[in-house]
């Protein structure tokens, strides 16, 4: 047997709780093999075992026919397994070439510049980064190109198997296409690819074979050509998720609307205007750099140089200061829940009530019982276990962390508008449906809901009104039915209507 | 709620809520045990007089350290200008004795609060680097002290401060004040909105800002409390020495930081408590006392304290670094 990778009966548990049980699959040479499953299905654990970060309790890993024990990432690297992690691990301050050499066990002690340079050039060319200079600081590249450099680094290590863990989670669709092209090129050279992703349509387009995990078990391995997104979802969830019904627009209520007039952020956003009615969900469709996210950040007070006028509930909002924006009733959910959202080491309870402390206090003194009641109610509403509120948020899955982040803004008397930047980024499908339901019920309760997203499925599913943006300008506005292809065209090639 | 609403991911094994003894508890436990053994085998350690001496010497540093705890929890690292601020507060206190003890205390406290709250405002609202800012502030405040005193010691015209050197029930008044301030700080941290916000700001300042929490305001509050604590220390130092020269503050800055760190409060913010700092201050004071009774030099005392603080800091850092992943 000379298959590059055979996984046979792999199992691993944590503290007696099995995370992976009896997972087996085979990856052939030059095959792009997808690993799917929602959070908690065991994908990350499998990836960690294959890349030497965890040792299996049972089962075997065969590389090129040899059973191996991988005790560290270096050991895995020596066997030809390269991992491109979920989060970027490139160093912006270094040059592209330095980043390529970073963590490469094959790099000689004394760096031979010319050899390294030639090799770096070759690897970059192969990934379609021909216009990138190896001596260029990485900071000058866009986020998509950085991701490609990270993939290039994995390739430059003469890998037989490249594991890509959510490589496109932070990328716009255009940048994702470049990653797909690179992955195809890598595979065409005979290198195998294990591709972990939540984005199912991209999985079906890119991959040859799909292995589905559910609750740590191996559900199925089948050719991607035989699957549809819906079938894949059914296999991942074991049930068909319901699509939310289309809704009639509520009567406009100007007294409770959010009025944005010629909002601008120098270099990022030009003259954005919108009157958002309560009870409706407004979707800002735009890739990274389109200004969609800047609309939300400016409203939340995080762009001190923003200009324009904003009013909520007929009161002017001082939107250049986050404290004033929050006091005016705007609640912001950042696209980066780890560094700009949650207090990870703190308990769920603390996180849920973090922004409503004054309401739970009398004369500045907290009332523990009121706090506990409030946290429990929010946990129940957000679909979190109400009996585990003392657990640090860091121990939760991405989906549940996001529920805490969104849930913290619900049921507040003094919040009138929710601003969400990529509300389901890095969230599993189950969690995503739950968060969409939360946002819908918030709108039903009379809130203005405004969110930005790059995902077509999310935009179509959740947005009552979709506004497309590109290069800091509004391209189009769609109140009724619209095709995904139209949105995509607006987002990538659209010209300003103004 | 029905269980079907809970996604399977919530059944990840629960970390026990900090009940199990962590490495920090072990380090501090070993240190306390070693100190206890050394103490019991040291002559004259287990006497009432010695216990009083330990508490008395912990009090001055301890009061400032409690204030520093709040600032450290808020993530502002710490002020390196505490000694100078205490000196200025002491001088102002002595120079205003003729107006009566109450007025003198109020003026000294106001002085400490003003000097420190301004630094807090610059750090809280404009995100200045606390270390750099407070080094600069330390020079400026030291200069203020020299200018105020003309370089000579400040004496009181009327010794109204004598009341503060009282020893009710055999313990210096400063010890009672330390206990009251500890309880007050602990209550602020645990039971007030501002206290909770201090922990949140210290843990993740960017998140607190994006959520619209009053980052600047709570930072200023923490620093103002710190300033008041420093001023109280200055008042007691002045009463104790009956005069104040420019070096009155001595090693107060670093001693206070050592007490906070020995208590296991994380220098990066977001964690810690006033009770721990009280423990840290007493522990350091016991170490000094034992070494003093055994005839070791001041150098040896500082060395041992330094090693303990280092061990605690390293342990705390390793724990939080691993916790993050």
Q: Tell me the pLDDT tens digit for each residue of A120-159.
A: 888 888 777 778 888 888 888 777 778 888 888 877 777 8
Task: Mention every residue, 6+ apart, whose C-beta is less than 8 A from residue A23.
Answer: A7, A9, A10, A11, A42, A46, A59, A213, A216, A217, A218
Rounded to an integer, what distance in angstroms lies between the CA atom of residue B187 and that of residue B195? 8
Contact B194 A364 (CB under 8 A): yes
Note the pLDDT of residue B1. Answer: 35
Mean pLDDT of chain B: 84
Q: What DSSP string runs through B114-171?
A: HHHHHHHHHHHHH---HHHHHHHHHHHHHHHHHHHHTTS-EE-SS-GGGGGG--GGGS
Contact B323 A394 (CB under 8 A): yes
For residue B290, the 8-state DSSP code is H
* A92 interface with B at CB cutoff 8 Å: no
Q: What is the chain B residue with the closest CA to A334?
A: B210
pLDDT digits 0-9 by tens, A298-349: 999 999 999 999 999 989 999 889 999 999 999 999 988 888 999 998 999 9
Residues in B whose CB is inside 8 Å of some CB of A read 1, 5-15, 17, 191-194, 196-197, 199-200, 203-204, 206-207, 209-217, 270-271, 320, 323-325
Q: How far is B45 from chain A (nearest CA, A)?
A: 41
Rounded to an integer, what distance in angstroms lies between the CA atom of residue B283 and that of residue B281? 5
Q: Residues of B with CB below 8 A from A366's CB?
A: 191-193, 196
Mean pLDDT of chain A: 85
Q: What is the chain A residue with the closest CA to B202?
A: A343
Task: Mention every residue, 6+ apart, whose C-beta is less than 8 A from residue A291.
Answer: A265, A268, A269, A270, A272, A469, A471, A472, A473
What's the pTM value of the predicted model, to 2 decimals? 0.73
Considering only CA atoms, give the Rg of chain A.
Answer: 24
* A441 interface with B at CB cutoff 8 Å: no
Task: Mention every residue, 6+ apart, whose C-beta is less than 8 A from residue A276.
Answer: A257, A258, A259, A260, A282, A417, A448, A450
Structure tokens at A46: 């499998």
Q: Residues of B with CB below 8 A from A301's CB?
A: 212
Q: How many CB pairs under 8 A join A and B?
A: 138
For helices B193-203 and B48-73, the axis angle rounded to 10 degrees is 70
Task: Mention every residue, 6+ apart, whose C-beta is less than 8 A from residue B268.
Answer: B75, B202, B320
Contact B203 A343 (CB under 8 A): yes
Contact B9 A357 (CB under 8 A): no
Among the listed ranges A357-371, B182-196, B291-305, which one has the minimum average pLDDT value?
B291-305
* A363 interface with B at CB cutoff 8 Å: no
Report which of residues B146 and A152 the model is more confident about. Answer: B146
* Model confidence band, residue A498 (pLDDT cutoffs 50, 70, 90): very low
- A271 pLDDT higher than 50: yes
Q: How far is A370 from chain B (nearest CA, A)?
A: 12
Q: CB atoms < 10 A from the CB of B277, how many?
A: 29
Report which of residues A311 and B323 the model is more confident about. Answer: A311
Burial of B64 (0-12, 13-18, 19+ CB in 10 A): buried
Question: What average pLDDT score do residues A394-412 get?
Answer: 89
**Which of B8, B209, B320 minimises the CB distance to A40?**
B8
Question: What average pLDDT score do residues A363-373 get?
Answer: 92
Among the listed ranges A425-429, B60-64, B193-197, B218-222, which one has the minimum average pLDDT value?
A425-429
Q: Residues of B with CB below 8 A from A388's CB?
A: 10, 14
Q: What is the chain A residue with the closest CA to B212?
A: A323
Euclidean distance between the first and the last CA atom of chain A, given in angstroms as a whole number: 63
Alpha-carbon dihedral B218, B223, B227, B229, rounded to 10 degrees? 70
Interface list for A 232-261 with B (CB within 8 A)? none
Note the pLDDT of residue A247. Answer: 60
When mean pLDDT is compared over A205-214, B2-11, B23-32, the highest value belongs to A205-214
- A229 pLDDT higher than 80: no
Note the pLDDT of residue B4. Answer: 37
Note the pLDDT of residue A461. Answer: 85
Which residues face A452 on adjacent strands? Answer: A284, A421
* Model confidence band, residue A39 (pLDDT cutoffs 50, 70, 90): low
Q: Residues of B with CB below 8 A from A395's CB?
A: 12, 14-15
Note the pLDDT of residue B114. Answer: 95
* A346 interface with B at CB cutoff 8 Å: yes
Q: Report yes or no: B308 and B261 within 8 Å, Cβ to Cβ.
A: no
Note the pLDDT of residue A111. Answer: 63
Contact A357 B196 (CB under 8 A): yes
Sheet containing A281-285: give its strands across: A330-333, A417-421, A448-453, A281-285, A465-470, A473-478
Note the pLDDT of residue A283. Answer: 94
Contact B196 A14 (CB under 8 A): no
Q: Residues of A with CB below 8 A from B215's CB?
A: 323
Note the pLDDT of residue B10. Answer: 35
Q: Report yes or no: A228 and A204 within 8 Å, Cβ to Cβ.
A: yes
Question: What average pLDDT score do residues A252-275 get?
Answer: 89
Question: What average pLDDT score do residues A356-381 get?
Answer: 91
∠ at Cα A330 (A319, A348), nearest 5°?
130
Note the pLDDT of residue B19. Answer: 41
- B7 pLDDT higher than 60: no
Structure tokens at A24: 């087996």
Note the pLDDT of residue A26. Answer: 93
Note the pLDDT of residue B231. Answer: 96
Rounded to an integer, what distance in angstroms lies between the CA atom of residue A293 and that of residue A23? 40
Q: Residues of B with CB below 8 A from A364's CB?
A: 192-194
Counting Cα atoms < 13 Å in the Cβ hemisphere of A73 gives 14
Note the pLDDT of residue B22. Answer: 67
**Which of A323, A343, A395 minimises the CB distance to B15?**
A395
Q: How far is A111 from chain B (nearest CA, A)?
A: 31
Q: Is the dihedral of CA A244, A250, A255, A260 positive or negative?
A: positive
Q: Residues of A with CB below 8 A from B206's CB?
A: 339-340
Strand, helix or coil at A344? coil
Rounded to an integer, what distance in angstroms lies between the CA atom of residue A212 and that of residue A25? 10
Structure tokens at A225: 């050509």
Q: How far is A186 from chain B (nearest CA, A)?
A: 30
Note the pLDDT of residue B119. Answer: 92
**Which of A215, A344, A385 minimises the CB distance to B10?**
A385
Note the pLDDT of residue B168. Answer: 85
Q: How far is B80 from chain A (nearest CA, A)?
A: 28
- B2 pLDDT higher than 60: no
Note the pLDDT of residue A170. Answer: 62
């Amino acid at each position: 047997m000379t298959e590059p990778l055979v996984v046979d009966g792999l199992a691993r548990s944590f503290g007696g709780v099995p995370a992976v049980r009896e997972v087996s699959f085979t990856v052939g040479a030059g095959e792009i093999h997808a690993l799917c499953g929602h959070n908690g299905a065991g994908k990350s654990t499998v990836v960690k075992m294959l890349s030497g970060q965890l040792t299996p309790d049972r089962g075997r890993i065969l590389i090129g026919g040899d059973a191996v024990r991988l005790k560290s990432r270096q050991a895995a690297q020596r066997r030809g397994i390269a991992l491109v992690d979920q989060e970027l691990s490139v160093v912006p301050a270094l040059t592209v070439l330095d980043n390529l050499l970073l963590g490469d066990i094959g790099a000689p002690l004394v760096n031979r510049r010319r050899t390294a340079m030639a090799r770096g050039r070759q690897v970059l060319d192969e990934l379609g980064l021909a216009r990138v200079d190896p001596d260029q600081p990485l900071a000058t590249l866009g986020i998509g190109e950085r991701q490609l450099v990270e993939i290039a680094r994995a390739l430059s290590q003469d890998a037989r198997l490249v594991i890509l863990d959510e490589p496109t989670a932070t990328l716009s669709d255009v940048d994702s296409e470049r990653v797909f092209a690179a992955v195809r090129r890598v595979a065409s050279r005979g290198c195998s690819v294990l591709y972990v992703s939540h984005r199912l349509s991209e999985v079906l387009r890119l991959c040859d074979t799909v292995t589905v995990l559910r609750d740590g078990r191996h559900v199925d391995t089948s050719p991607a050509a035989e699957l549809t997104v819906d079938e894949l979802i059914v296999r991942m969830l074991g049930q068909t998720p319901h699509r939310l019904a289309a809704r009639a627009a509520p009567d406009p209520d100007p007294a409770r609307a959010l009025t944005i007039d010629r909002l601008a952020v120098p270099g990022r956003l030009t003259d954005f205007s919108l009157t958002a009615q309560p009870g409706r969900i407004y979707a800002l469709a735009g890739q990274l750099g389109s200004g969609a996210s800047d609309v939300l950040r400016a409203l939340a007070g995080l762009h001190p140089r923003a200009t324009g006028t904003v009013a909520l509930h007929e009161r002017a909002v001082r939107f250049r200061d986050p404290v004033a924006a929050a006091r005016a009733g705007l609640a912001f959910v950042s696209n980066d829940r780890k560094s700009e959202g949650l207090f990870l080491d703190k308990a769920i309870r603390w996180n849920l009530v973090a922004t409503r402390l004054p309401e739970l206090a009398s004369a500045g003194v907290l009332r523990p019982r009121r706090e506990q009641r409030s946290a429990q109610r929010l946990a129940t509403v957000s679909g979190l276990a109400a009996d585990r509120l003392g657990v640090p948020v860091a121990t939760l899955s991405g989906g549940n962390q996001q529920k805490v982040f969104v849930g913290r803004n619900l049921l507040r008397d003094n919040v009138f508008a929710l601003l969400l930047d990529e509300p389901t980024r890095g969230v599993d499908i189950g969690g995503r449906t739950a968060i969409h339901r939360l946002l819908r019920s918030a709108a039903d309760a009379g809130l203005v809901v405004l969110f930005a997203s790059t995902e077509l499925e999310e935009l179509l599913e959740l947005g009552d009104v979709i506004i497309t943006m590109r290069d800091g300008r509004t391209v189009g506005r769609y109140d009724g039915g619209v095709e995904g292809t139209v949105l995509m065209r607006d987002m990538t090639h659209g010209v300003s209507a103004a | 709620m029905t269980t079907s609403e809970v996604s399977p991911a919530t059944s990840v094994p629960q970390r026990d809520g900090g009940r199990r003894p962590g490495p920090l508890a072990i380090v501090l436990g070993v240190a306390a045990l070693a100190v206890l053994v050394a103490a019991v085998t040291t002559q004259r350690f287990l006497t009432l007089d010695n216990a009083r001496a330990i508490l008395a010497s912990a009090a001055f540093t301890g009061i400032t350290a409690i204030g520093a705890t709040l600032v450290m929890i808020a993530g502002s690292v710490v002020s390196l200008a505490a000694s100078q601020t205490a000196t200025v507060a002491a001088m102002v206190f002595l120079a205003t004795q003729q107006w009566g003890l109450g007025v003198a205390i109020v003026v000294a406290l106001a002085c400490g609060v003003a000097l420190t709250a301004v630094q807090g405002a610059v750090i809280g609202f404009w995100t200045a680097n606390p270390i750099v800012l407070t080094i600069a502030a330390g020079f400026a405040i030291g200069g203020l002290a020299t200018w105020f005193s003309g370089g000579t010691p400040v004496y009181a015209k009327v010794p109204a401060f004598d009341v503060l050197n009282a020893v009710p029930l055999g313990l210096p008044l400063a010890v009672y004040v330390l206990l009251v301030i500890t309880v007050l700080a602990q209550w602020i941290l645990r039971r007030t909105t501002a206290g909770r916000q201090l922990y949140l700001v210290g843990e993740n300042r960017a998140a607190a800002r994006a959520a619209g929490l009053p980052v600047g305001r709570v930072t200023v509050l923490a620093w103002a409390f710190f300033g008041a604590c420093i001023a109280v220390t200055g008042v007691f130092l002045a009463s104790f020495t009956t005069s104040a020269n420019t070096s009155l503050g001595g090693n107060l800055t670093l001693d206070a930081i050592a007490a906070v760190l020995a208590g296991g409060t994380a220098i990066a913010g977001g964690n810690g408590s006033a009770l721990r700092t009280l423990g840290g201050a007493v522990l350091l004071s016991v170490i000094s006392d034992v070494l003093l009774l055994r005839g070791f030099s001041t150098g040896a005392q500082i060395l041992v304290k330094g090693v303990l603080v280092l061990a605690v800091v390293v342990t705390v850092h390793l724990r939080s670094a691993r916790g993050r992943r």
